[in-house]
Amino acid sequence: MSELEQIKRGAVELIPEDELLAKLKKGKPLKIKWGADPSAPDIHLGHTVVLHKLQQFQALGHEIIFIIGDFTARIGDPTGKSETRKPLTEAEVAQNAKTYQDQVFKVLDRKKTKVVYNSHWLKKLTIEDTIKLAGKYTVARMLERDDFMNRFEKERPISIHEFLYPLIQGYDSVEIKADVEVGGTDQKFNMLVGRELQREFGAAPQVILTMPLLEGTDGVQKMSKSLNNYIGVTEPPAQIFGKTMSISDPLMLRYYELLTDRPLAEIRAMHPKEAKKLLARTLVARFYSEKEAIAAEEEFETIFKSGGKPEEIETVKLKNKSGNILDVLTWTGLAKSRSDAKRLVQQGGVSIDNEPVSSEMMVVDLTKEHLLKVGKRRFLRVITQA
């Protein structure tokens, strides 16, 4: 596979391809920009689609410049939002940035990644600088963004600072002299602004490489914690393995294309179940280790092939001596909320002491130890705290 083929694998758009070829022909390592606002502390497989592409660039000898948007996070990225986003505090950004880096470097090579904070240059901009920057783009062009236009047409508020966000993100490209910027399709507008601003400042414009938004385990909607169709990179190895084994065969091939370097022809030639196991092992090994991957597979076989339970099941001690099943599921973290717990019960996904829970009105006596099971993979022992 040629260098260009590797770069284009799984990508949605390369804008423009001829400019990237011209940059590659110079034979010098390219500066590959990737920026992320630490607006949330945890990442899932959907976020690692871009990370894996960056890792491929690293393997090809290019330099990754990871911009932590500690300044832009305090503005709040309006991308995809139907209303003005609440900015984060400086303390929240700092804590999220630390956690975010720990997870990012489960995929990227830390030694080959330059980490910078955009507050380093953005804090230095004067009001005059900011006004000049704002003068390089029109309101009409900002309204070309779908989310801005939708809010404008529905007469929902758009704050002026939200128009500044794409400009400030684009200005990052000017500062670091990016050759290529990689991001999800939802970031295309912002990345193109960076390309235009580089021209405005007399620099060579960056090439844009957009990656698709990964579907979640349901195979329909994009991976999201709020939709509970995600695989988190910090989830226990057995959970990552089990969730991966639950996805459909077509989705498995898409995960292979976007999250691995394996030739798809090789995967299509394999038995689907074996291919899925290989994918699950690959993901667990990436986020943990080969040893953990083997252990996760063995546990999976014990639970699903033999119909057994994990050898080690976590015990949660609760303060209450009794509780409604919906509350118990919420207190233990097996459900995110009472409404989520209600949905799980109604779908027949909850059992207690190996007996299905059919009523959301069930009261659980917590003075006795119980085995809770949600879905096919999640087990907990629960009892009243002594």
What are the tens digits of pLDDT across the range 166-184?
Answer: 899 999 999 999 999 999 9
Average pLDDT of the segment spanning 77-99: 69
226-235, 238-247, 283-292: which range is least confident on average? 226-235
Mean pLDDT (the chain, rounded): 88
Full-model pTM: 0.77
19-23, 113-117, 147-151, 308-312: which range is least confident on average? 308-312
**pLDDT category of residue 82 using cuts at 50, 70 and 90:** very low
**Is residue 244 packed enough to be buried (19+ CB in 10 Å), middle (13-18) or exposed (0-12)?**
buried
Q: How far is CA 133 from CA 126, 147, 294, in A?
A: 11, 22, 53
Residue 176 is predicted with a pLDDT of 97
Q: Does the pLDDT of residue 87 top 70, yes or no? A: no
250-259, 309-318, 352-361: which range is least confident on average? 309-318
Residue 98 is predicted with a pLDDT of 85
The percentage of residues in the chain with a pLDDT greater than 90, rounded to a whole number, is: 53
Residue 278 is predicted with a pLDDT of 97
Q: Is the dihedral of CA 222, 227, 233, 238 positive or negative?
A: negative
Within 13 Å and on the Cβ side, how many CA atoms surround 277?
A: 14
Per mean pLDDT, which of 71-75, 137-141, 296-300 is the most reliable? 296-300
What are the tens digits of pLDDT across the range 202-242?
Answer: 999 999 999 999 999 888 889 987 777 889 998 889 889 98
What are the tens digits of pLDDT across the range 95-147?
Answer: 888 888 889 999 999 999 999 999 999 999 999 999 999 898 888 888 888 88
Q: What CA dihedral angle connects 364, 366, 371 and 376, to 10 degrees? A: 50
Domains of the chain: 3-211 (3.40.50.620), 237-305 (no CATH), 315-384 (3.10.290.10)
- Nearest Cα neighbor of 213 from 238, 185, 252 is 185
Q: Does the pLDDT of residue 309 top 70, yes or no? A: no
